[in-house]
Amino acid sequence: MSTVKAAVCHAFGEPLVVEDITLRGPQMGEIEVTLKAVAVCHSDISFAEGAWGGSLPAVYGHEAAGHVTSVGEGVVGLAEGDPVVVTLIRACGSCPSCAEGKPTICGTPYDGDKGPLTTADGGTLHQAMACGAFAEKVVVDQSQVVKISDDIPMEAASLIACGVITGVGAVVNAAQIRAGQDVVVIGAGGVGLNAIQGARIAGARRIVAVDMSEEKLEIAKEFGATDGVLATDKKPFVQAIRAMGRGADAVIVTVGAIPAYDQAPRYLAPGGKVIMVGMPHSGEKSSYEPVILAAIGQGMQGSKMGDVVIKRDIPWMVDLYQQGRLKLDELISGRWRLDQINEAIADTKTGSAKRNVIVFAD
């Protein structure tokens, strides 16, 4: 048992409250990680605003990095002192999805109300996204954690846990882009910039960024976009196809806007596919013409968390960062203390493409 400071959501839409909570020690298969950095993700904000429901009080935060400070029984390959990335991808290892090598869609439910967190007076405290990383320490399942080399800055490492694996993985794992293919990325925000750099890493020929903002299109070029098209233009897919000389092998939709989904198949080459990453609100619907997809062999495919296998994919991403081939530091727009978390959230909501990171003192 330890007492740690955490940012707690007591009511949807209200500021988070930084207070002492109780964290029990790691049990079978679990690990305690003392955090160095946790990034603020748009999903944390959606949860805190009540967009997706869930139990309260709750601790959000799921893009984290730190050092292992305690290990439970049955933990393999991790020891105290190891630097790690902490993700929300909790995988049981034995359900049909896990058995097929798809841990991001593990079918075994997790009840965050019965997790390692309680309020200071012993009340129920929900560990959101199996993580609860807006806190000085977390206790998570070993499946959620990857050991990394000790010479990557923790702020950069924390970003890999969500936005980076989601964007890069959508291109590399879901679309399986190979050298010479053409990719369109709709939305040049946190995930979109990572899809763009994933396409560059995969050796794509043309990488067309589509966004509502000129400024974001300029940033997209720094991450590897070869062309930029304003989504506000009448037929952005016509311009994108002109830039590529043909349709795209993959269109990565990284925003949750329905018009983006409605238009996405229009960018495709015969045989190409739309990778659906951005998450519209529940109940919203998109439309497309099945006859076209059927006639020229196109596809639409959902991708959760970049279809990553974290222990396979995160170490190579760290390596590419160290070689200067994966940009992480450039994704950080601000650094904050935990007691400034509401300011960090407000700044993220202004729509900046980049990430705010909470940094914990030594």
Task: Tell me which residues touch Zn ion (CB under 5 A).
Answer: 41, 43, 91-92, 95, 98, 106, 108, 162
Within 10 angstroms of residue 166's Cβ, the number of other Cβ atoms is 25
- Identify whether the C-beta of residue 277 lies closer than 8 Å to the C-beta of residue 163: no
- Min. distance of Cβ 136 from Zn ion in angstroms? 20
Q: Which CB atom, from 23 or from 164, has the smaller least distance to Zn ion? A: 164
- Min. distance of Cβ 98 from Zn ion in angstroms? 3
State the Cα angle at 126 between 120 and 127, rounded to 5°: 100
Burial letters 268-291, b for 16+ CB under 10 A, else e: bbeebbbbbbbbbeeeeebebeee
H-run or E-run covering 319: helix 310-322
- Min. distance of Cβ 189 from Zn ion in angstroms? 12
- Min. distance of Cβ 158 from Zn ion in angstroms? 11
**Sheet holding 2-8: strands in order across?**
2-8, 17-23, 117-119
Q: Which residues sit opposite 34 in a β-bridge?
A: 67, 137
Q: Which CB atom, from 108 or from 149, has the smaller least distance to Zn ion? A: 108
Q: Which CB atom, from 41 or from 196, has the smaller least distance to Zn ion? A: 41
Q: Which CB atom, from 91 or from 231, has the smaller least distance to Zn ion? A: 91
Q: Which CB atom, from 21 or from 162, has the smaller least distance to Zn ion? A: 162
Burial letters 68-99, b for 16+ CB under 10 A, else e: bbbbbeebeebeeebbbbbbbbbbbeeeebbe
- Identify whether the C-beta of residue 144 lies closer than 8 Å to the C-beta of residue 90: yes
- Min. distance of Cβ 173 from Zn ion in angstroms? 17
Q: State the number of CA atoms in the 13 A half-sphere of 74 facing the CB.
A: 8
- Min. distance of Cβ 244 from Zn ion in angstroms? 30
Q: Which CB atom, from 162 or from 217, has the smaller least distance to Zn ion? A: 162
